[in-house]
Structure 1
Amino acid sequence: MRSDPLIAVEHVSREVTDSTGTLTILHDIDVALPARQSTAIVGASGSGKSTLLAIIAGLDRPTRGTVRLDGVDLFALDEDARAAVRAQRLGFVFQSFQLLGHLSALENVMLPLELLGRGDARARATEMLGRVGLGARLHHHPRTLSGGEQQRVALARAFVVEPQVLLADEPTGSLDHATGETVMALMFEMNREAGTTLLLVTHDRGIAARCDRQLHIEAGRLKPAA
């Protein structure tokens, strides 16, 4: 049985400096996240939630500290190696969907598989779009899809590579409440089926309560569990 955490955030701080001085966005964040656990990162706007998520993904570099994914120090790798880790092991869902407008739903979902050199990209993407209820919308472009449909395409794209970790940054932020509830129910269902480790940034207390664990960040500091 696995004893080491899948994700280890080790004394991570993030500072930015400009002409007015230095601003500390994250203060000495130290936390371990086990495999297959769902975790919500919650806090007020500007508290550092999205910065922490970006550092865990290797998209932003900490000023001090590091992140280990399955024992691998992400910041001991160069950018190309970190990009390879993201492509192979991480899935992303964003508030703004981040779909490529010139590609169809099918092509958007195929893309990460094609970048990995998978020969079954079309079949896998077709299957995954059917899983999220868009089997009849394969050839539609994002501009012709509703917000909820676009986020379901984003879910299919995230899960199609069978990631170890799913990172979701305010995934319902651009959706109305009812659509957001539908998308989140689908995300949690797919996450359970795949046994993925879910790390979710949200300001929605109801969504956070559905996770196994909540991390509360206040002014860049991780608050002790209540």
Structure 2
Amino acid sequence: MMTNNAIEVIGLTKRVSDAGGELTILDDIRFSVAMGESLAITGASGSGKSTLLGLMAGLDVPSQGKVNVLGTDLFSLDEDGRAKFRASHVGFVFQSFQLLPNLTALENVMLPLELAGHDAEAPALEALAEVGLEHRLHHYPSTLSGGEQQRVSLARAFISRPALLFADEPTGSLDVVTGARIIDLMFRLHQDHRTTLVLVTHDPNLAKRCQRVVEIHAGRLASAEIA
């Protein structure tokens, strides 16, 4: 059943076992994200914020708790079901860009729609023009700068007009000036397409660009405030 929340995180807990015993990475996390909202997840390295993002996207399975996304209980779906749900509703931007090196910029952006069985070239051309890369269509990732690769990643993330965009340290591999340009572009696309944006960052200036900040400390929710 649809609500005005895009995401509801309910009692989310993640534990793993190692040689030293059981380790709790996340402990009883609870919050929601409204439709169209921008939310930053912050915290020190190792606090569990990237694990939380992966669980919210259904890339990992919790030890306890639920994540409702667009009214769907993610963990009521099997792995294939979650993958199909992501393909239909979710875009991703990663620190390491995650571009396929043997594909051109155009081919990388076309890939999500092609995998879904849709015509992809015209939307990919439009998406690359939207990020200012219409002159770099046939370049391979190795011939693109870090900023250009991240713009290709943004175009790929937005090509299917996702309801949700997850970004994990999207400027972590970029210099300050290039990172600022990428952030401006990401927030413009977020606003233009009315996408719900959830990003992980250790950068307080980036967090301030979001409407709300969730802070994770040692696996627990430390605060959830308006930035």
TM (normalized to structure 2)? 0.97
CA pair 225-91 structure 1, distance change in 2 beyond 3 A: closer
Post-superposition shift, 1:6?
1.2
| 1:147-193 superposed Cα distances (whole Å, 9 cap, x missing partner) | 00000000000000100000000000000000000000000001000
SS at 2:136's partner residue?
A: coil
Distance 2:156 2:223 in 1: 35
1:166-205 to 2 correspondences below 5 Å: 166-205=165-204
Q: Which residue does 2:114 correspond to in 1?
A: 114
TM (normalized to structure 1)? 0.97
1:87-106 to 2 correspondences below 5 Å: 87-106=87-106
Post-superposition shift, 1:224?
3.2
SS at 1:83's partner residue?
A: helix
Post-superposition shift, 1:19?
1.8
Distance 1:208 1:54 in 2: 19
SS at 1:97's partner residue?
A: coil
SS at 1:117's partner residue?
A: coil
* 2:46 matches 1:46: yes
Amino acid at match of 1:162: R
Amino acid at match of 1:47: S
Post-superposition shift, 1:3?
4.9
Q: Structure 1: give runs of 5+ residues left out of the alignment.
A: none
CA contact (8 A) 2:15 2:63 kept: yes
Post-superposition shift, 1:225?
3.9
Q: What is the aligned residue count?
A: 224
Amino acid at match of 2:133: L
Distance 1:58 1:77 in 2: 9
* 2:39 matches 1:78: no
SS at 2:92's partner residue?
A: strand
SS at 1:211's partner residue?
A: coil
CA contact (8 A) 2:212 2:224 kept: no
Post-superposition shift, 1:117?
1.1
Moved over 4 A (4+): none
1:1-226 to 2 correspondences below 5 Å: 3-119=3-119, 121-225=120-224
Amino acid at match of 2:123: R
Distance 1:65 1:171 in 2: 27
SS at 1:171's partner residue?
A: coil
Distance 1:210 1:136 in 2: 30
SS at 1:27's partner residue?
A: strand
Post-superposition shift, 1:4?
3.5
Q: Identity across aligned pairs (percent)?
A: 58
Amino acid at match of 1:83: A
| 1:44-92 superposed Cα distances (whole Å, 9 cap, x missing partner) | 0000000000000000110000111111111010111100011110000
